[in-house]
Amino acid sequence: MDSKPAPAKSDAAMPARRPALDLAAQTASTSYKCMLPPEVLGEALRTGVMPAGFEPHIGSLLDEAPLSLLGRVAAQISAAAALSVEQVWANMQELAAQLQITREINVPAMLKDQQARDSAEVAIGQRSARSLWVVQPGDLDGYTFTPPLTSEHDKPGEEW
């Protein structure tokens, strides 16, 4: 019996990850019959102008989507539109204010700085926009992660 190791999967064999803007548009449309086109969402986040007829979609996205998704969207728009990440976040905040959303839509300064560096590297061709999906070494420095008290991984007498 010949046992051969399974061939390694190349990047070409891996399915491409969906752009953050597409994922955000789908997330915004989950509860609605009409789909928010990614292009319309992108234009709204680039300009801060509410698209007519899509107010509920934008509201759902800004009120309920994880900030990590909004951060990836901000980085993608920034890289594609030569717009600062800070401006994209400000446009999100403006749209949220128009919809009277009380959730704070912001990102820690440390992450904003990283997003600005990422966008600059993509703009000059040092990195691919696809690489923005990856957490880089040092991205989480300064953060503390605490498991819930009922975590299955937290056993008395054992340290992380």
pLDDT tens-digit readout, 40-79: 999 999 999 999 999 999 999 999 998 888 988 998 998 8
Tell me, yes or no, whether 60 lies in a domain: yes
Tell me, yes or no, whether 5 lies in a domain: no
Predicted local confidence at residue 116, as pLDDT: 77
Predicted local confidence at residue 79, as pLDDT: 85
Tell me, yes or no, whether 113 lies in a domain: yes
Question: What is the average per-residue pLDDT within 132-136?
Answer: 59
Tell me, yes or no, whether 2 lies in a domain: no
Tell me, yes or no, whether 87 lies in a domain: yes
Q: Residue 71 belongs to what domain range?
A: 20-133
Q: Residue 156: pLDDT band by 50, 70, 90 thresholds? A: low
Predicted local confidence at residue 97, as pLDDT: 94
Tell me, yes or no, whether 78 lies in a domain: yes
State the Cα–Cα distance between residues 145 and 83, nearest whole angstrom: 32
pLDDT per position as a tens digit, 76-133: 998 888 888 889 999 999 999 999 998 888 766 556 667 777 778 888 888 777 666 5
Question: What is the average per-residue pLDDT within 139-156?
Answer: 68
At position 20, the amino acid (one-letter code) is A
DSSP helix/strand/coil, 159? coil
Residues whose CB falls within 8 Å of the CB of residue 50, separated by 6 or more in sequence, listed in order: 44, 58, 95, 98, 99
Tell me, yes or no, whether 156 lies in a domain: no
Running DSSP on this structure, what letter comes out for residue 128? Answer: -
pLDDT at residue 36 is higher than 50: yes
pLDDT at residue 14 is higher than 50: no
pLDDT at residue 22 is higher than 50: yes
Predicted local confidence at residue 146, as pLDDT: 73
Structurally, the chain folds into a number of domains equal to 1
